Structure 1
């Protein structure tokens, strides 16, 4: 079935690896043009060149508030406008509540919550008034936007906030024909998951394979997601086939139960 994404203009943040790279590849396969974001110009250019035709590089440190406007301006200059915004970039840090510093809290919210808010705000002017073209804003959240877990106060709170942000934006932007959703992955086979596995194994003095088994045990299907599974849902929700879905956080998680 035709997704209607051919010729659409997409911005993917955090596109240098893992979920972001898989999302970029999935949109390119549907004939979209993609602005691939990375923190530095060197990395964004490398990603665009590696992904091939249809990609243009944009860059900026999303931990710095002023980057949002520059990224939006680069996207408009290089794509001519924007139909689909994928707020994918994020950080994952965990610690017991007594060890979470104010700097830890601020950094987590700056990247996971404030940055996608500011970038969405900066991109909206070029998404408005596109007539019948399907337009959407999508946040890569986490099952943590619904769940609770020990040692996850800052991270889970930031993802709960993203879910609330998306729902409010969905109400506000519906009259403009712009849909807003979240995709909430469980454990995904990415460098971020590898870092957690290494940290967990070191802290608990268990073998890395045991840490991996515990990640699998946290889902009903006993698997860790490939990034492409998340990308498939992102493409569906962004496409004409997802045109009746807005204000939702859709879990792609192998039936994750509870982690903590």
Structure 2
């Protein structure tokens, strides 16, 4: 267990988050998994914390669970996010607040607590899932609130990487294209595949592999790693 890390994963009940949890567990790491609705686990290396990541008290419970059960926090995967694609003038105030609540408040509260613990250890890694739409706007997928929030997280990633570099804490992001996950109905896959220069959607394993790479890449910090089938390079 000397090489086993303690990893927090948000948005962990399905899709990329659930796949990330399983990947870290398969490598012998210990995981604290969070989602609004997530079942309790009897796995010795897995603790689950149900709750809204946008709520500061949820973040508090996640961090406390990691420290009390496993003794430290080595990696935080900020995966939780809300994505709503619609014309800018049609967003409602409720949608705006919900997206900001998860994408920004959720990032702020748990990252602040995780970095505080990492500072005490003198090491740690934060990786955040953003979106290639920040760099590659597409009129077929109008999504300004994703760009507003996830673009801010890309900028925060670089800022935190510099702020905490000498503290031994790395901060990176994975910027996906459109991934074949429960978010997208199968009948939409052909159209969504065509939005990528490589002609296919990404697999959840593509994003998990990127997270695992960044977690092991000790000389990489402040990186926005595009895993997007060429979208960020343009058409």
**TM-score normalised by L of structure 1:** 0.82
Q: Which residue of 1 aligns with 2:63?
A: 72
Q: Which residue of 2 aligns with 1:31?
A: 28
Q: Distance in 2 between matches of 1:189 and 1:53?
A: 30
1:256 to 227, 231, 234: 231
Q: CA deviation at 1:53?
A: 4.2
Structure 1 residue 234 corresponds to structure 2 residue 211: yes
Q: Distance in 2 between matches of 1:31 and 1:73?
A: 21
Structure 2 CA distance for partners of 1:149 and 1:66, relative to 1, 3 Å: farther
1:185 to 165, 176, 181: 176
Structure 2 CA distance for partners of 1:161 and 1:5, relative to 1, 3 Å: farther
Q: Which residue of 2 aligns with 1:246?
A: 221
Structure number having the greater helix percentage: 1
Q: Which residue of 2 aligns with 1:141?
A: 130
1:63 to 49, 54, 61: 54
- Higher mean C-alpha deviation, range 6-15 or range 52-61: 52-61
Structure 2 CA distance for partners of 1:140 and 1:257, relative to 1, 3 Å: closer
Deviations 1:141-185 (A, max 9, x none): 111232223421112211101101111111111111000000011
Q: How does 1:193-212 map to 2 (within 5 A)?
A: 193-194=184-185, 208=187, 211-212=188-189
Structure 2 CA distance for partners of 1:182 and 1:141, relative to 1, 3 Å: same
Structure 2 CA distance for partners of 1:5 and 1:141, relative to 1, 3 Å: farther
Q: CA deviation at 1:61?
A: 0.8
Q: Distance in 2 between matches of 1:153 and 1:145?
A: 9
Asked whether the 8 Å contact 2:10–2:33 carries over to 1, the reply is: yes
Structure 2 CA distance for partners of 1:174 and 1:216, relative to 1, 3 Å: same
Asked whether the 8 Å contact 2:54–2:109 carries over to 1, the reply is: no
Q: Which residue of 1 aligns with 2:97?
A: 106
Q: Distance in 1 between matches of 2:63 and 2:80?
A: 15
